[in-house]
């Protein structure tokens, strides 16, 4: 599976699950993509930074 296919499938999954915030969906997709393809872990510090960014944007 390519990154593009992965992103498209994951986007579809999030939308069908009832998530409609495109910014949040893209953030989650980036996290999943970096974990699956780049073997990068999502840490507590990453979660804190994401939460702060989302609070500012919303």
Residue 15 has pLDDT above 90, yes or no: yes
Rounded to whole angstroms, the Cα distance separating 52 from 44 reads 12
SS (H, E, C) the chain: CCHHHHHHHHHHHHHHCCCCCHHHHHHHHHHHHHHHHHCCCCCHHHHHHHHHHHHHHC
pLDDT digits (tens, 9 = 90+) for 18-46: 999 998 899 889 888 888 888 878 788 88
């Amino acid at each position: 599976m390519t990154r593009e296919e992965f992103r498209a499938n994951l986007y579809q999954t999030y939308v069908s699950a009832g998530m409609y915030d495109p910014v949040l969906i893209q953030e989650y997709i980036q996290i999943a993509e970096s974990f699956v393809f780049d073997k990068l872990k999502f840490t507590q510090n990453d979660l804190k930074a994401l939460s702060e960014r989302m609070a500012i944007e919303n």
